[in-house]
Each structure stands twice: as structure tokens, then as C-alpha cells.
Structure 1
Amino acid sequence: MINPIDFGIKGLTNEAVKSSRKKYGENSLNYKKENGFFDALKSIAQEPMVILLMVASSIYFITGNNGDGIFMVAAIILVASISLYQDSKSRMALEKLKSLTQPNSQVIRNGEVVEIPSEELVVGDSLMVEEGNTIPADGIIVHSNDFSVNESILTGESLSVFKDASKLDNKIFGGTTVASGLAIATITEIGNNTQLGKIGKSIEGIQEEKTPLEKQISNFVKNMSIWGGIIFLLVWGINYLQSREVLESLLQALTLAMSVLPEEIPVAFTTFMALGAYRLMKMGIVVKQMKTVESLGSATVICTDKTGTITQNKMELAKLFTLDTGEVISVESTLNNFEKELVTIAMWASEPIPFDPMEKALHEAYTRIAPVDQRPHYKMVHEYPLNGKPPMMTHLFENSEGHRIVAAKGAPEALLATSTLTDTQKEQITAILTNLGRQGYRMLGVGQAIFQGSEFPEKQQDFQFVFKGLVAFYDPPKDNIRQVLKDFDKAGIQVKLVTGDNPATSMAIAKQINFPGYEKNMTGEELMQLGDTELQQKVKSTQVFTRMFPEAKLRIVNAIKANNEVVAMTGDGVNDGPALKAAHIGIAMGQKGTEIAKQAASLILVDDDLSKMIDAIAMGRKIYSNLKKAIQYIISIHIPIILTVFIPLALGWVYPAIFSPSHVILLELIMGPTCSIIYENEPMEKNTMIKKPRPFTTTFFKFKELITSIIQGLVITLGSLSVYQYAIFEGYNESVTRTMVFMVLISSNIFLTLVNRSFYYSIWTTLKYKNNLVPLIIGITLILSALLLFVPPLTRFFQFETLSFKQLAIAVLVGIISVLWYEIVKGIKRARLKLK
């Protein structure tokens, strides 16, 4: 294979790299960055709960109640610390993801081609870029093959521009993308000195739009805050009219406002998404945007490429067919001169510095059979890039003596159409194509032309080619692909094969792996003949799409989306970009994927293994399910706190101010970790991957689920207020009553955490789930409760009282019963499902 060094390009030495970096710095866009820590502090200071705590602590200090004031300040510090910790965890997870999505670059250093992070690129480096790459810095081209660049990010012009070393336009610019071919360029500007850096365009500056789920959660919290504000003013007004005490009535109103605010919900959402993305990263799945985590569990259809996704992407040259012999032979056989000539012409039709697996295989085969390597003696004088439907490409080489080679390769149909062949020969070649295709081989036609003039034809199809034969490659299916397809089917997800390969080869590979519906095939040309409505119906029943090109792939994705399906699309090439962008979940390959594909996609499979998508979908379903459990828990536990504060106050019961702001914040601090730590760490339920995907249009707060949470909350409220009335009936004082009601809420909180780990399986099943945080958090809650009850300074401070065994037993028992009733509902659900 030809090496860039053969072109006299040896690149920088290690010493020269260090010197350049010292002089010009790193290749990164450095704009004024915001301070994450201080921004987080500013954000926390604006949180409604923190503002309420500040007001409450101020009132305590003003009224001389310094103990409560100090506790409130401590609570502010604790709330801020928890929020900062959660924020830093989220930011660290996202920073790690961000670093993984930064592209690498190929450079020539010390006479060798090496891959480095793009940030390590220096002025003077010899950079190699090829089709699909994003150019990481500005430079001047020193060598190129069929090289064109899309510069729309700088110029707004969508058409690609052809460039080479001999043209006036021989510069490349950072941020632009390679549309075709390969080039080697000497880097002249990096970082902020590039054209992109000077005009200040940075992808980092683009704000992500909120997802439907984010909007729903944001609106829910906003509505609760508004209601909290209304109730706060109402309670303040009522209390002031009764007592004429401004600050006392304000404190009681603040207590209620605190109990209404569900500030844990946005924290839980951010934590779940960021940590979910981080967990996926550790599994080899790089999620570029948090919102992808949310949509993963909804995927109903996956459109997958064949090469490198279904198959191993080995592209080994396996068979040769020449018209001169009329036989198909294995490359491992002894080759005659006709077969050697076929391999040689196919090599000349490839790029001089190959990057495509098939072209690499042809160069390697030529190296094995050539008695003398002729490549260093020939120079490319003209080239026709890969184009046409079906596609082909042509290269013209010349040596110093003026001997010219005109070589072409491409889809066999394209070469048949441009070659002079008899009907008998065409029939013979078609029969060979059908036979090899049925065996799963991928074939290229090879042709040669003679051309003496200097005015080259405008189109490569205008040459009169001599059809030399076929080169056939075999790309075996991946070992695990059959199981992957079964897993997708079990999860209720359809898989569709979308490939640029010919129908016979695609269907042969599909048949080998038991691909569902492999016998139903549609080509790109057939697809483009259909109207939108007809195509929508056709994509429902067709599983294999062959000879696909960018416009056809995009139409498939849009047609499936129009059927209200959630589409995941895998891809690796430049031509996959539009379809990856259009899919709900674009999946790029980490190893063989081009930078364009990676930019367009929303997640990247690091090792190109489709089985990872099963893991990703399982993780998406788990995160969504756990987030739902956490938010249902928050709703359920907030209702009794709100009503236990409000009802005695509104109805003028014996002890109207049963809870102060200190008690509410104490409950909030106990509840916060439960939802954001325990539920985030919950394992996936065993029926998660046999359920149908959830509809994408379904709102997060289903009426049935919301009603469940509300009823759970109301039953707990009934329990706490029943104990309140029991305490009054027994003649207990305010401290005992307060303590008993508080213990009802604590015990119901513990058991609600356990019961809501599943809305289907019993508590006895969920207790076996592996989640080390459950005993830890519950243990901390029990220790804290014991301290409040049995450590006199704490008991006095919170105006509690040490309860007798009977009082404590009643409070705990009522708390447990207030929650455990839901186990009966779950039992009925399971019984109904068994009867079906």
C-alpha cells in the first residue's frame, strides 16, 4: 500500500512539535468561559426554596429566636451543598462525555501516520483528512485525491468546493467538512487564529432546545410554585386577620409555601439524565446530548446499515471473475495473468492513499502479486469522483514516459452500462452476479479505457470502457448478530436493513442471519418512484432496503416517522448524515464512522457493536422508569406534608401550627436524597425489556399514574391527621402530638420508598433488588429519627417529646398501613395479568 511518506511528506519531529506548541499554543477555541461553581451558586441563590429559607431565618433572628435562625442558615448551607454536589456530578459526567465526542486527527510525525486528539494539533503538522472528516484547523494542501470540501459553516454556500495543491484555492479551514476524497495539508493556523476562531462561531455556543419531558417537568414545577405563592399569600392574610401578628403569620405562611414547592423534581431530572449518560459512556455508548437518554426507551424501529453493523467490515478480497477466462476463482488460487491484470486495474481505480476497506484490500492484493511495484512511478493526472446511480469512479495515471492508465471500478451495473459487451457476455456476467450475490459476496465491476488526448471527457461515463471482470469481497456476519435481532424482537422493536449494497448480496446476508422478512426487498430507485402516502404503507411491510442513497435513506426515516414510530438509525458515512439527523435517535459508529456521521448522530457506539443498542435501550427504559418512580414518590410524599400543615391551620384545630419551617425543611432533607439517590440507583425490573416501547407522544404524567400518586398521598394524609386527632382525643400536649404526626410521616416515607420501587412486583420481590443505597439511606433516616426522639437537646430544639412505646408504635404502625395498602393493588394487577 502506498504510504504518505512515499510522497516525500515526513511531518514534524517530536522536538518540532514541542517547539511549535510552545510558540503557538493548543488547538482549541478559547472564549470567555463561565465559572461553573459560581454560576451554580448564583442559580441556587435564585431557587424559591432557598429564598424562603432565607426569609424564614431572617424572621427568626428578628424575633430573637436565634436557635431556629441558626438551624435555617445550616439548612441553607446543607441544601446548597447537596445542590452543588448534584450539579458537580452532572457537570463532571457531561464533561467526560464531551471529551469523548471530541474528534481525533491523523497526522504524519517522524515519518509515520499517527492518530492524536485534535487539540494536540500544532502549526506545521502534516494533517491527513478524508471523506467525512471535520477539518480541525486551517492549512495549505500539499497533496490530494478527488478532494472537495463543504465550507457552508464559513460561507453559507451549500455546494462542495474542489481543491488541490496546484489550484489557487489550495487552503482548508477548520470547522469545514470533507465531502469527498483525501488530502494532506500543512497546518498554518490553529485555535482562535483559524477563520472559524476569528468569527467566533462555536458549536459550544449553540443552546439546546428543551425536550417535551423537560418542558412538562418545568411547567409542573412552575405551576406548583404559582399555587404555592397563592396559598402563601392566602394563609398569611388569614393568619394576620386572626392574630394581627405580621411576622408570626408570615412564618406560618412560609411553612406552607415550603411544603408546596417540589424543588426535588428538576434536581432529580438533571441527575438521572446526566448520570444515565455517564453510565452509558462506561458501557461504550457515548451520548452527545442528555435528551437522547430520555428518548432511548421509546425506540420502536431501528434502521441498520449492513457493512460493519450486521457484518464484520473485514471486506476480504475473496473471488475474481475475468471475461477472458470466464471463470470465478478464489484469490487464494494460483492467479494467471488475466486475473493479476484484473487486480492491478482495480487497484489503479482505487485512491492512491486508500481509506475504504475494499480499496485497502485491493492495494494489499496488488502488493502480493506485483513482481515490481509500479505505484511510485505513476502520478494521478485526472480523476472522476464516485458518482452516478449506481455509482462508479475513474482514475487516470501517467508515468514519466507518457504511458497512461485509465481505470474504473464501481457497481457492476454501472460498468455494464458503460462497456462494450455482447448480449451473451451481459447474460453471463448477470448470472455470475446473481450467483455470487446469493452467496453474500459484495461485488465491484472493473473496467479499463484507452485515451490519448488532454481534453478529458466531462463525465466518466463518456469513456468507452473494456469490461475486465468482477472483484468479489466477503464480509461475514458478526457472531452475535442473530442474538441481537432476537433481543430487539423480544423488546418489541422492528429492525429494518438499509444498505447501499445490491439486492442479492443483502438478501443473502439477511437470510444467513435469519433476518425477519429478508425476502421482502425494495431498491432506492423503486422507493423514489412512490408517493409519500404509498411509501408510508410500504415501509410497514418491507424489511430490507437495498441500493440506497442519501435521499432514499432520508425518505425511509421520514416515512417511518410519519407512521408515528420512534426511529433509531445507524450510519457511518457522509451519505448517512441527513438520515442520522432526521431520525429521533441517530447512531454513529465509533470506529468506522466519519466525523460527519458522528456530528449528525445523537449517540456513538464506541466499538461498532449493535448489541450495545440493546443495552442503551434497556438503560433508557430503566432511567425513564426510575425517574417516573422518583417523581411519583415526590408527589405522594408532598401531599401529606402540605395538607398536614394546611388543614389544622385552615380549620382552626387545637394545635394549628403543628409544623414550623424547621420541621418542613427537616422532612425535605430526609426526602431529597431518597428520590435522587435511591431511585437513580435502582436496577432494571425484570419485565422492562419484554414490554412494548412506550409511545413517544405519551405525556410523562399519565392520568392513571398521577391519580395513583395523589391517592397514595391522600391516604398518608388521612393516617397523619388521624394520629393528630387521636393524640388530641387522648389529651396529649402539642409536643407529643407533633412528634407522633412527624413519626407517621417518617415511617410512611420509608415504606413509600420501598413500595414504590415497583408498581407491579411486590415489596418482597423488590427487597431482593440489588441497591446498596436503600439500606444506607433508610439506616440514616432511622438514626436521625432516633436522635430526634432520644437526644434531649435535639428533642427540645425541634419542640418534640420522647414518645412512650405505645405512642411510637401507633405512629409507626399507622405510617406503615398508610402505604402498604398499595401492595393489595399490585397483587390484583399481577392476578389480572395471569388470567389474560
Structure 2
Amino acid sequence: MKDVKWYHLNIRETAEKLKTCTEKGLDAEEVKKRQQKYGLNELKEKKPVTLFQRFINQFKDFLVMILIIASIISLVLGEVTDSVVILIIVILNAILGVLQEYRASKALEALKQLASPKTLVVREGKIQEIPSKELVPGDIVLLEAGNYVPADLRLIESVNLKIDEASLTGESVPVEKDAGAVFTEDVPLGERSNSAFMGTIITYGRGKGIVTATGMDTQIGLIAQMLESLEEEETPLQKKLSQFGKVLGTICLVIVAIIFAIGVLRGLGYREMFMTAISLAVAAIPEGLPAIVTIVLALGMQRMVKRHSIVKKLHAVETLGSTTVICTDKTGTLTQNEMTVTAIYTGGQIYKVTGEGYKPYGEFIKEHKGTTISPNSVPDLSQILKIGALCNDSRIEESKDNNTWKVIGDPTEGALIVAAAKGGLWYTELNNDLPRKQEIPFDSDRKRMTTIHYDKNTSKYLVCVKGAPDILLNLCNSIFDNGNIAQLTDDKKANILQINTSMANQALRVLGFAYKELESLPETISPDVIETDLVFVGLMGMIDPPRKEAIEAVEVCKSAGIKPIMITGDYKDTAVAIARELKLSDRIIAITGKELDEMSDEELEEVIDKVNVFARVSPEHKVKIVNSVKKKGEIVAMTGDGVNDAPALKNADIGIAMGITGTDVAKEASDLILTDDNFASIVAAVEEGRVIYSNIRKFINFLLSCNIAEILIIFFAMILGLPIPLIPIQILWLNLVTDAFPALALGMEKKEPGIMNMPPRDPKEPILNKTMRRGILSQSTAIAIAVLGIFFYALNSTENLILARTFAFATLITSELFRAQTARSENIPLFKLGLFTNKYMFLGTLLSFVMMLIVMYIPFISNVFKTVPLTLNQWLIIVGFSLLPAIVAEITKALKL
């Protein structure tokens, strides 16, 4: 297949060569066979890092290298036991690091799979949405504006199709495609108008194609260009922490050097002080911080998936927590995305339409008389329903499993299909009698869509147009009235616009419908030629009710200090009505797209704080809105789904793409993808972002207070002329025991009550703010006092240095484990949180405590660590001293409250 020049073949020859059917596609059994033969439709990536490579990489860390050198020096000096223990601890640290990295990479890999693009295909005669990687040669693929071409294709249908092939050919202008073209000679890649290539972008129109090559056999695969990948670079937070770690490390090394000098001046051995200094340096510097941050972010991203949000970039998790404004689309995000036609105006009459959602069952009732009528008996009603069904790219489908109906395509168009079906006009039958021949797709500038159908009964062409009523009326000179065509006078136009306004005031989305007949098709199919001298038929009003959860989410936003702004293409009256139902604000202030065009950037900045609804806007307006909000110092999240939304999504602090209705271009430009297109999921993601950032603060607070305490213990022991309370092996062991498990457990802490009742954090505020610095100072001091106090007590009461060091060792670990519990919240007392509400903390603390007991009660291990078993009474004293830091932490919380 690789050598076949598909652009030489016509459509029939291509289908025969690939053994496929252009109407029904492949069956499931054939797809399975071809997947086994050709593999997945994806580009080969770099080989993943193996566990062994990850393990070796752990030893490249500067501090670990210092430890290894220290181990070698110890061996040379005859300290074999110290040398072996240091190496064991280094290896245990490395294993832990590997496990953390592996878990984080698996989490990110799972997210990458979730974020992979989807494709519409025809298989077994049905339209299905599948992951693009499951495509096989011979598949029939449907192409729509805004999506990526998922594989190399021989086009079999093209309607005003244009594709941007810049990523492949370097040609900046989109290429017009012609499915019918056949080339007898070899032509360059950029001139193959009957072909589409993987990774290029559909900018206009629609089409259909047969897959001719997948994965590495595609044109883009041949040049090994990766187009679909998640960024795994360091986040701003990780960079900040890395920089902070270097500063802290430098300070710690200076202090350690001072301790070494004091020890030597006091006459302590060089060897003893060297090992103590090295051990203390490693214990003091939180070298595992970046790894813990990575895994906490990755796990947070996985939790977001359960709440219908796929985070593509790690930095988005950090930014989410400080979001102050959410600019959101209305349809499908704030509303249910189940548009239902409830009112029709045609022939001077208003008809109420009953029914629910997408179920094609309902009645048509004359508004004034309240009588139920059949659309077939009313030419005007039958005509408007027919136009709505024909000028349409959506379909409705019944799910056999749960007896529900769903729309494949745009919800607004789905509502028109459902309305027609309620009147007995099914799209499949209409399309059989009036097959579509040409179309002019909808675009946001024209605000209308046109399709041209061949009428088999009259041999004429029927032009069907739907769009914004005010714009459509200007294209009409006649009106369809009680089955007859009459002149469209200014009075009639004014009356129609009044009805349109009345419908819009009821929060209905209103579309106008028109048609005309042609004896033959003109040579040029363009809006200027086709969309003129139309016959106006009527209006359809539909409603997409607000989501209940969106109403609740708006309330959460307001209590969290986040301002929601609605942006919609709907009429101002409709938008304001929905905003009121959502209780978006006590006072709804709306600006239209036309008003936006007339405003300068400075004028918009003056009023942007008060505006909460933007109506009748085009995607281009979104950039202007985002820029104005950002200039006010706000952190902006912006939703979007179309091709033209991409600039605004990239410009926002957080770009949010719709997972269901969003185009591939919008998803590519975004930081976050909603899998359910629900506003409540945005708020849930913001909440999760706050939780993650809060948890990162917690374990940084914990690690630094413990590590600084270890330095203070040795430093003040030197100053006070005491023996060193902890030997190097003990320092290394407690660093391993207390740093890893409790810190990770703090990263998995559940959200605190009231986290969405606090204002958004200032992104410029450092992690180590005044509150945290005060907490670290008080805790590290309290831990140091507790350990030095019990060491002094044990040394004076027993005159046994080994026992005194065991007391200090046990007290330091126990107090740090208590500290881990109190670090679970900066504000809420531990008794309110509950000791067992974080199972990871309970298990991590228990494991750390058991590891401490191992080096105290197993004889041959205790000999290595220079510890002795403790009695119950001794433990009671240790627990008493160890509780001092926890008591200080809880008092600090109480005073702050």
C-alpha cells in the first residue's frame, strides 16, 4: 500500500483497492484484522525511560554524589559500618525517587490517553466517534471545519473544503480541495487537491475521505514530526521551588560549615564532624521537593479527570487556584445543551410545541385558540419544519439501551430535526426526496447557513436558508403566507421583528427561515448569488434551560470571590434572561458585539468591572474581552470551542476547551479540556486547583520546619557545649523516615471546609509568605527545644550518651510525625479535622514509626545505629516532649482564628 499513488485513482478505484464501501465503511471484524496488520494510527515517540535508567538518574543529584563520596571516605577511614549504612540509605532514597517518578509518569501518560483526539467515522453504515489512533486504512472519515485530519485520506466528498497544510508543506494559504479531481501525472504534495494529510487543519467546509495511510506510513509520519504531545516541562511553581531550594541549600551549607568549624574548635574529631556535617546537609536540604510536587500535581490532575476536566499542562493546575474571572460560553456550558423548539411563528400564527429534550414526540398547539393541529394540514408550518430539517448537518439517534435520544452534531440543529420529526417530517425521508447538492456553511460573520436540494418531484432546486432573523429579513423580498407567496412589506418586517423580540424576551433562541426555488444552478455558488430575493417563512424559538448544577456553581463562584462572565452569540434579551435565571449577579449589565465594536480598549476597561454578560458577540470579540479583564489585574479563565476561539484561549491565563463540541484546534490551544462541557466542572477544577496548591504549601511547611529544626538541634548543641545529640547515621535515617511518607500524605489531603469561601490567592504572593515563615520558625524552634530538652534531661539523669541520643532520636522522629498531623491545615484545629480522616497520613505515620522502632529494637540493627531499646515509662516521657511542637502549632492556629 505504501507505494500506491492514491491521487492517481478515482473514488471507485480507491475504494476497490482498499476493499471498503464508501457508504457503509468497514465492519467490526475487518477493522480488527486491519488493526492487527497496520497497528495503531499514531506516530512513534521516543523510547520511554526505563526503571533502570530512572534508578541510575537518581545518583546524578549533587547531594547524593556528596553522600557517595562521604561513604567512600568513611570506608577509607575504616568506618565500614557507617559506609555501608550510608550506601543502603542512598539506595533506599533512590528506590523511593524511582517509585515517585514512575507513578507521576504513569499519571501523565493516562491523562495523555484521555486527551487524545477523536474522529467521526462511518462503520457498518453508522456514524461513530472513535479515538483517532484506532483508524485503519479503508475507514471512511467525516471531516468538519476546525478539526485535524486524523490520517492520510483520498477524499470522496468535498463541500467548500479548505485545508491548512502549512505544517506539512509550508504553504500559508489554505488549499481548496476537490474530491473529484484525478491526476494522471505526478504532482507535488501541496497540489494534490483530492487528498488530505494527517495533522493538517480543516479551516472551511466539510468533506469525507477514505483512509489510505495511518501512523508512521503517513506523509507526516515519514518526516517523524510529532504533532500531538503533552508538555512535561517544569512548571513555574517547580522552577520557583528549585530556585528556592538552591538558596536554602546554600544557606544550610554555610550553617553546616559553621557547625563543622565549631565542632573542630571544640576539639571534636575531624572524622566525626565531617560525617555529621555531610549528614546534616543532606537532611536539611529538601532535595525530594520537586519530585513530591510533580507527583502531587499529577495525582491532582487525575482527580480532575474524575471531575470531568483534563489538564493538558501542569502549570494550569497552579493557575486555576488563583482564577478571579471565568469567561464562559452559555450554550451547553451554563445550560443543558438540549435545545428544544417550544414556539413557532409562521403564517401570522404562533404555535406552541410540546415535548421534552430530544425525544421526537410532541404536539403543535395554536397559541390563541389552544387547539392541537397537524402540521401537514398547515402549509406554512409544514414548510418551516421542512426547511429546518433540510438546512441541517445534525442527526438524532435513539439509544436502544436506555430508550433515550441523542443528537449527533449541533444541539440547535438537533432541536430543528426533533421539531420536524414531531410533525411527521423525518430527515431521512426528506433527504431521499430532496437530496442535498450544494451548501454554503454557517459562519460567525454571515450568521446564516444555506443548503441547496434537488426536488425529484418538480425537477427544480430548493434553496433553504436559516439564520439570525434580523439579518435574514434583509435578504428577503417576499413572505410565505397561508401557502401563498406575498410581498414582504416594511410593516410585516416590523411585526416579525416585534415577534422575534417577544420570543427573545422569554429567553428563547430565535432563528429565521427562508427559501427560494431555482430552475437550475448558477455557475458560481456564493452567498452573493444564492442568498438574495428569498421568501421569508417564519421564526422558530427554542430554549436550552440552565443546568441546575450551573446555578449552584455560580453561587460557589460568588462566595469564592470569582466573577462569572457570560459570553454568547445569542440576542441580548435572551442572554440577560438566562443570566437572571442563573443569578449571575444582583444586577445584570450586558454589552452587545456591536457596542463592543464601537468602544475603544480604554472605554471597555472603564466598564469591564460592571459588565457580566456579552451578547451577540463573535469569537474575535473574545480576545478584546480577555485583554480588558487581564489589564485590570485579573486571572482569567476563558472557554471556547471553535477555530476562531483559539486566539482568546491562548491569550487567557487558563484556556478551557469544550471536550464534546470543541474542535481540535480549540483543544490544542487550551490548557484544560472539559469532558462534559459543564460550567460546574470549571468551578470544580478551580476548587481542585486551590486544594492542590494548599497541599503543596502544607508539605513545604512541614518539610522546612522539620529540616531547619534538625540544623538548630546540632547548632545549639555546639553552642551550649553539649555532645552531638544525633550521629550521622541517625540523621540520615530520620531524614528518610520522616520526609517521604508524611510529605506525600500531606499532598493527598482532602479539601478543607470553606476553601471556596476564601478569595483567590494573589499569584504574585510567594509560597513562603509571612504566615508560613512565622509557622516554620515557631515549629522548628519548638522541635529543637523539645529534642535538646529531652537530650539534656537524659544525659544528666543517666549519664549514658547512647541512651540520651536514643531519647533525642525517638523524640525528633515522633515530634516530626506529630508535626505532620498538625500541618494538615494552617487554620483548622486537628481535633476538627480528625486523626483518621486522611488514611494516607495515618498509614504513612504508622510506617515511619515502625521503621524507627526497627532500628531501636532489632539488636544487630540497633548496634549499627547506636540505639538502645526504651521502656514504656521512657516512651511516656518522650511522647510528652514530642507533643510540645504540636501544642504550639494548635495554639498558633487558635490565636490566628
Is the TM-score greater than 0.5? yes
**Unaligned regions of 5+ residues in structure 1, if any?**
1-6, 831-836
- Tell me the equivalent position of 1:415: 472
Which residue, out of 272, 287, 290, partners 2:311? 287
Q: Secondary structure at the match of 2:747?
A: coil
- Tell me the equivalent position of 1:173: 197
* CA apart distance, 1:638: 0.5
On the 8 A contact 1:507/1:518 being kept in 2, the answer is: no
Which residue, out of 639, 642, 653, partners 1:570? 639
- Tell me the equivalent position of 2:522: 454
* CA apart distance, 1:235: 6.0
* CA apart distance, 1:487: 1.9
Query: Is 2:215 the counterpart of 1:191?
Result: yes
**Cα distance in 1 between the residues matched to 2:124 and 2:825:** 60
Q: How does 1:469-508 map to 2 (within 5 A)?
A: 469-508=538-577
Q: Secondary structure at the match of 1:169?
A: coil
**Cα distance in 1 between the residues matched to 2:792 and 2:158:** 86
On the 8 A contact 2:158/2:207 being kept in 1, the answer is: yes
On the 8 A contact 1:268/1:675 being kept in 2, the answer is: no
On the 8 A contact 1:86/1:267 being kept in 2, the answer is: yes
* CA apart distance, 1:419: 1.9
CA shift digits 1:423-453 (9 cap, x unpaired): 2012101110111111121111122235556
Q: How does 1:684-699 map to 2 (within 5 A)?
A: 684-699=751-766
Which residue, out of 358, 365, 372, partners 2:412? 358
- Tell me the equivalent position of 2:374: 334
- Tell me the equivalent position of 2:842: 775
- Tell me the equivalent position of 1:384: 440
* CA apart distance, 1:238: 7.2
On the 8 A contact 1:132/1:178 being kept in 2, the answer is: yes
Q: Secondary structure at the match of 2:609?
A: helix
Query: Is 2:619 the counterpart of 1:550?
Result: yes
Distance 1:707 1:45, change over 3 A: same
- Tell me the equivalent position of 1:102: 116
CA shift digits 1:548-588 (9 cap, x unpaired): 11111121122112211122223333333332222222223
* CA apart distance, 1:121: 0.6
Q: Percent identity?
A: 32
* CA apart distance, 1:377: 5.1
On the 8 A contact 1:27/1:120 being kept in 2, the answer is: yes
- Tell me the equivalent position of 1:214: 238
* CA apart distance, 1:296: 2.0
On the 8 A contact 2:388/2:420 being kept in 1, the answer is: no
**Letter paired with 2:34:** S
Q: Secondary structure at the match of 1:133?
A: coil
- Tell me the equivalent position of 1:752: 819
- Tell me the equivalent position of 1:257: 281
* Larger deviation, residues 424-433 vs 722-731: 722-731
- Tell me the equivalent position of 1:709: 776
Distance 1:327 1:34, change over 3 A: closer
On the 8 A contact 2:454/2:460 being kept in 1, the answer is: yes
- Tell me the equivalent position of 1:316: 340
- Tell me the equivalent position of 1:349: 391
Distance 1:484 1:252, change over 3 A: closer
**Letter paired with 1:613:** I
Which residue, out of 429, 438, 454, partners 1:373? 429
- Tell me the equivalent position of 2:188: none
* Larger deviation, residues 82-91 vs 671-680: 671-680
* Larger deviation, residues 811-820 vs 403-412: 811-820
Distance 1:308 1:721, change over 3 A: same
**Letter paired with 2:515:** Q
* Larger deviation, residues 380-389 vs 194-203: 380-389
On the 8 A contact 1:264/1:634 being kept in 2, the answer is: no
Q: Secondary structure at the match of 2:163?
A: strand
**Cα distance in 2 between the residues matched to 1:381 and 1:32:** 47
On the 8 A contact 1:298/1:695 being kept in 2, the answer is: yes
Q: How does 1:434-833 map to 2 (within 5 A)?
A: 434-451=501-518, 452=520, 454-456=522-524, 458-460=526-528, 463-517=532-586, 519-649=588-718, 651=719, 653-656=721-724, 658-730=725-797, 732-767=799-834, 770-803=837-870, 809-830=876-897
On the 8 A contact 2:742/2:817 being kept in 1, the answer is: no
**Cα distance in 2 between the residues matched to 1:518 and 1:99:** 43
**Cα distance in 2 between the residues matched to 1:734 and 1:216:** 42
Distance 1:20 1:807, change over 3 A: closer
**Cα distance in 1 between the residues matched to 2:523 and 2:546:** 45
- Tell me the equivalent position of 2:107: 93
CA shift digits 1:72-96 (9 cap, x unpaired): 2221221122111111211121111
**Letter paired with 1:174:** M
Query: Is 2:122 the counterpart of 1:53?
Result: no
* CA apart distance, 1:268: 2.0
**Letter paired with 1:258:** V
Distance 1:574 1:796, change over 3 A: same
**Unaligned regions of 5+ residues in structure 2, if any?**
1-20, 182-191, 354-362, 365-372, 396-407, 478-487
Q: How does 1:19-38 map to 2 (within 5 A)?
A: 19-38=33-52
Q: State the superposition RMSD in angstroms.
A: 3.0
Q: Secondary structure at the match of 1:821?
A: helix
**Cα distance in 2 between the residues matched to 1:798 and 1:457:** 87
**TM-score normalized with structure 2 length:** 0.85
On the 8 A contact 1:145/1:352 being kept in 2, the answer is: no
**Cα distance in 2 between the residues matched to 1:18 and 1:387:** 39
Q: Secondary structure at the match of 2:429?
A: coil
Distance 1:531 1:209, change over 3 A: farther
Q: Secondary structure at the match of 1:373?
A: helix
Distance 1:246 1:107, change over 3 A: same
**Letter paired with 1:482:** I
**Letter paired with 1:639:** I
On the 8 A contact 1:393/1:460 being kept in 2, the answer is: no
Which residue, out of 82, 101, 111, partners 2:125? 111
Distance 1:374 1:811, change over 3 A: closer
On the 8 A contact 1:631/1:675 being kept in 2, the answer is: no
**Cα distance in 2 between the residues matched to 1:522 and 1:184:** 40
**Cα distance in 2 between the residues matched to 1:521 and 1:311:** 18
Query: Is 2:440 the counterpart of 1:393?
Result: no
* CA apart distance, 1:626: 1.5
On the 8 A contact 2:394/2:409 being kept in 1, the answer is: no
**Cα distance in 2 between the residues matched to 1:769 and 1:786:** 22
How many residue pairs get aligned? The number is 822
- Tell me the equivalent position of 2:189: none
On the 8 A contact 1:457/1:463 being kept in 2, the answer is: no
**Cα distance in 2 between the residues matched to 1:810 and 1:199:** 70
Q: How does 1:135-284 map to 2 (within 5 A)?
A: 135-157=149-171, 159-167=173-181, 169-203=193-227, 207=231, 210-230=234-254, 249-284=273-308
* Larger deviation, residues 682-691 vs 372-381: 372-381
CA shift digits 1:85-112 (9 cap, x unpaired): 1112111211111111112222222222
* CA apart distance, 1:310: 1.8
On the 8 A contact 2:836/2:842 being kept in 1, the answer is: no
**Cα distance in 2 between the residues matched to 1:823 and 1:388:** 59
Q: Secondary structure at the match of 2:594?
A: helix
On the 8 A contact 1:106/1:114 being kept in 2, the answer is: yes
CA shift digits 1:680-730 (9 cap, x unpaired): 232222121211111222222213312321232123223333444445555
Q: Secondary structure at the match of 2:548?
A: coil
**Cα distance in 1 between the residues matched to 2:22 and 2:65:** 68
**Cα distance in 2 between the residues matched to 1:787 and 1:589:** 53
* CA apart distance, 1:494: 1.3
On the 8 A contact 1:174/1:196 being kept in 2, the answer is: yes
**Cα distance in 1 between the residues matched to 2:394 and 2:758:** 51
Distance 1:776 1:454, change over 3 A: closer
